[in-house]
Amino acid sequence: MDTIKKLFYMCVCVLALSACGTTAPSATLSPTAVQKPTPTFATTPAVPAVTPTPAVSSPSRLLIPSIGVDAPVENIGVLSNGDLATPTQNPWGGVGWYHLGPHPGQSGSAVIAGHLDRPGGAPAVFWNLRNMQAGNIVTVMAGKSAPLRFRVTQVASYAPNQAPLQEIFGNSGGKYLNLITCAGDWIPTQHQTTLRLVVYTTLM
């Protein structure tokens, strides 16, 4: 399976790996999510690995005033089984930046993932991500650097096997930040939700 395929499923379905809750609210906007790899994704062109510039500070905080998010950012990578790791320092109130991809503010598509809910269904950091709209502002803090401000361009939901993985992880035509979480209904037998929510943003 192509690495980028795994990445999306894990990234957007990561919630199921740590218990996404028994019922995820149905998305009314265009939502998407984070989880474990599946062999059902269609073949997607491989995306060249991005080597972050050492001098660039890792993101430390994610601010989304429109939905009340003020969250610490943890660097996350890929586990030995190929799954995207989940935040461990603050699993429900924090978010994870995929540090093997671009830094926010660099050319390419940086990705930050967060949980929709906690075990039992209580809201987690990205509970209200589905309420975001085009034009909303997302701010990323990184070390002593000036805050990076991104503007939401689209909120979209996809079935796991219909997500435009190249667009989410491999778009190098600008400086993007894509936020991912779960959405739709919880499927107990599959330990995942029916949809993946992606909020696309571009650097202002």
Report pLDDT for 2. 55
- 43 has pLDDT over 90: no
At 103-148, the pLDDT tens digits run 999 999 999 999 999 988 899 999 999 999 999 999 999 988 899 9
Structure tokens at 200: 């696309």
Q: Is residue 162 part of a domain?
A: yes
Q: Is residue 183 part of a domain?
A: yes
Report pLDDT for 32. 38
- 19 has pLDDT over 50: no
Q: Which residue has the tokens 């830094």?
A: 103
Q: 124 is in which domain, residue-wise?
A: 3-41+57-203
Q: Is residue 46 part of a domain?
A: no
Report pLDDT for 97. 97
Structure tokens at 65: 């005033």
Q: What is the CATH number of the domain that holds 145?
A: 2.40.260.10
- 181 has pLDDT over 50: yes
* Enclosing H/E stretch for 167: helix 165-169
Cα of first residue to Cα of last residue in the chain, in angstroms, is 35
Q: Is residue 147 part of a domain?
A: yes
Distance CA 147, CA 169 (A): 23
- 88 has pLDDT over 70: yes
Q: Is residue 93 part of a domain?
A: yes
Q: Is residue 52 part of a domain?
A: no
How confident is residue 5, by pLDDT bands cut at 50, 70 and 90? low
- Tell me how many domains the chain contains: 1
* Enclosing H/E stretch for 51: none
Residue 82 region, left (φ>0) first, then alpha (ψ -120 to 50), else beta?
Answer: left
| Range from 35-49, 102-116, 161-175 carrying the lowest mean pLDDT | 35-49
Q: Is residue 165 part of a domain?
A: yes
Backbone angles phi, psi at 16, to 5 degrees: -65, -25
Distance CA 200, CA 152 (A): 6
Q: Which residue has the tokens 């990234």?
A: 11
Please give the distance of CA 20 from its chain centroid, rounded to a whole number: 14
Q: Is residue 62 part of a domain?
A: yes
More confident residue, 67 or 166: 67
